[in-house]
């Protein structure tokens, strides 16, 4: 079923991690009335529920499979500053102010997780990350990025040499270092967040529709109907199933990963290469973790399937061998997960409905950076929906990520 390394460590029953499979859940759903419903138990949904419960809001979290069965339990565990491209590239797309906001947002996201105690988790490690240029064009972009980041008050430096497997291979030209990043076991983080909730996640519930009716939201499921004052849709790549306005805005894309044993996997940092197309790091257990190569298989990777494919996995193996001097690779695991991408690369955050109406909050389309942005996004969308206001992340480009329309 393509369960991730992290998921099978927690529970070796791979079939139980298939989000599309039926799962017997606990808790009461039929004809329930609560203050708030959160749909989706990944990093965004769990964080939204934590925020609501902290305000004394009676909250029900619904998950179609089991908590963290989706991308939040299948990713590389990067808690990394920034977004999919480098600072210079992001500024070209979003403007300098937009890039500055997103980079601050990602810093604030990790700061908020640290404030909750993430550093106490065994699978967490404070670790430098680095964007690596292999070709001349990206080298120039990273040099410009470092200049701009320093001008804008961010800590950053360029390195052009090193002693680990990346530099021994001789492919890297320059690396832009993020000095205060971290990495984690994402399933451990999801379990930790879920453990903060007073009410457990109700698993095995398929939500069929969210309908705003007067001053409530009617959430129709295969186990009954729930009415609430607000609902939060935190299903990322699948958000358009419940929010039609997102059709064509949030696109499902598969991301594939592999874990290897290698005799010389001595990586000093978590690496991000080819404009984020590939990412390679070591785990706290010494395994080499790698993902990417999607850009060479774009048509086949536009899917909600969580099954890894031989063609892409073969390319991933070859990339690791060529770019990192780690020695012979022994495959430990292969897996995939479904991400939500947007045309702009910015997530969609917003609230539908105004004063005196049932309100529907949405946070989706993190373009592969849900771990770096999703905790704070979930909390802010939940706050905005509960208070009946627009989303106003201090580090969010004004209007750039707003969900438009009130229908």
Three-class secondary structure assignment of 141-180: HHHHHHHHHHHCCCCCEEECCCCCHHHHHCCCCEEEEECC
Do 32 and 173 fall into the same domain?
A: no
Predicted confidence (pLDDT) at residue 388 exceeds the cutoff of 70: yes
Q: Is the Cβ–Cβ distance between 362 and 348 less than 8 Å? A: yes
Predicted confidence (pLDDT) at residue 20 exceeds the cutoff of 80: no
Do 365 and 334 fall into the same domain?
A: no
Predicted confidence (pLDDT) at residue 301 exceeds the cutoff of 90: yes
pLDDT band with cut points at 50, 70 and 90 for residue 395:
very low
Do 169 and 214 fall into the same domain?
A: no
Residue 206 forms part of a structural domain: yes
Do 267 and 367 fall into the same domain?
A: no
d(CA 358, CA 32): 16
Pairing label, strands 359-364, 230-233 = parallel
- Range scoring the smallest mean pLDDT among 55-59, 201-205, 399-403: 399-403
Q: Which of 314, 339, 364 is the last residue of a domain?
A: 339
Place of tokens 């292969």: 334
d(CA 30, CA 308): 36
pLDDT of 32: 82
Q: Which of 323, 339, 355 is the last residue of a domain?
A: 339
Residue 82 forms part of a structural domain: no
Beta strands in 262-329 (DSSP E): 270-273, 278-282, 288-292
- What residue numbers bound the domain in which 157 lies? 125-182+251-339
Number of domains in the chain: 2
pLDDT of 24: 53
CATH value at residue 389: 3.50.50.60
Q: In what order do the strands lie in the sheet with 125-126?
A: 78-79, 182-183, 125-126
State both tokens at 362: 């949405």
Do 305 and 196 fall into the same domain?
A: no
Mean pLDDT value of segment 241-266: 95
Q: Which of 285, 309, 339 is the last residue of a domain?
A: 339
- Range scoring the smallest mean pLDDT among 151-165, 189-203, 224-238, 378-392: 378-392
Do 152 and 275 fall into the same domain?
A: yes
Do 255 and 327 fall into the same domain?
A: yes
Do 284 and 176 fall into the same domain?
A: yes
Residue 383 forms part of a structural domain: yes
Predicted confidence (pLDDT) at residue 27 exceeds the cutoff of 80: no
d(CA 113, CA 117): 7
Residue 194 forms part of a structural domain: yes
Residue 287 forms part of a structural domain: yes
pLDDT of 29: 66
pLDDT band with cut points at 50, 70 and 90 for residue 406:
very low
pLDDT of 398: 44
Do 256 and 176 fall into the same domain?
A: yes
Sign of the dihedral through C-alpha 105, 106, 108, 112? positive
Residue 302 forms part of a structural domain: yes
Do 257 and 397 fall into the same domain?
A: no
d(CA 17, CA 3): 6
pLDDT of 308: 98
């Amino acid at each position: 079923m393509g369960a991730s390394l992290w998921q099978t460590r927690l529970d070796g029953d791979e079939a139980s991690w298939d989000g599309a499979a039926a799962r017997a859940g606990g808790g009461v759903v039929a004809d329930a009335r609560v203050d708030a419903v959160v749909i989706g138990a990944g990093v965004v949904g769990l964080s939204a529920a934590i925020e609501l419960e902290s305000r004394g809001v009676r909250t029900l979290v619904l998950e179609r499979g089991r908590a963290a069965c989706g991308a939040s339990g299948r990713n590389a565990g990067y808690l990394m500053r920034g977004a999919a491209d480098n600072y210079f590239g992001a500024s070209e797309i979003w403007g300098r102010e937009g890039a500055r906001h997103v980079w601050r947002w990602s810093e604030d996201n990790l700061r908020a997780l640290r404030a909750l105690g993430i550093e106490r988790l065994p699978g967490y490690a404070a670790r430098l990350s680095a964007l690596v240029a292999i070709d001349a064009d990206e080298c120039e972009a990273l040099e410009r990025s470092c200049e701009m980041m320093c001008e804008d008050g961010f800590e950053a430096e360029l390195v052009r040499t090193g002693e680990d497997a990346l530099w021994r291979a001789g492919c890297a030209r320059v690396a832009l270092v993020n000095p205060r990043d971290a990495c984690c076991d994402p399933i451990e983080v999801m379990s930790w967040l879920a453990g903060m909730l007073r009410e457990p996640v109700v698993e095995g519930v398929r939500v069929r529709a969210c309908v705003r009716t007067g001053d409530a939201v009617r959430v129709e499921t295969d186990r009954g109907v729930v009415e609430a004052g607000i609902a939060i849709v935190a299903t990322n790549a699948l958000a358009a199933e419940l929010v039609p306005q997102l059709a064509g805005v949030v696109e499902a894309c598969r991301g594939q990963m592999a874990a290897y044993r290698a005799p010389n996997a001595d990586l000093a940092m978590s690496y991000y290469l080819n404009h984020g197309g590939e990412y390679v790091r070591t785990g706290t257990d010494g395994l080499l973790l790698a993902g990417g190569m999607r850009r060479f298989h774009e048509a086949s990777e536009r899917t909600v399937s969580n099954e890894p494919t031989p063609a892409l996995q073969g390319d991933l193996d070859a990339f690791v061998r060529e770019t990192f001097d780690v020695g012979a690779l022994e495959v430990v695991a292969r897996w995939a997960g479904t991400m939500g991408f947007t045309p702009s690369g910015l997530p969609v955050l917003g609230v539908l409905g105004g004063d005196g109406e049932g309100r529907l909050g949405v946070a989706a389309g993190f373009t592969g950076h849900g771990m770096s942005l999703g905790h704070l996004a979930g909390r802010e969308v939940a706050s905005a929906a509960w208070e009946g206001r627009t989303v106003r992340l201090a580090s969010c480009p004004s209007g750039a990520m707003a969900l438009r329309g009130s229908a």
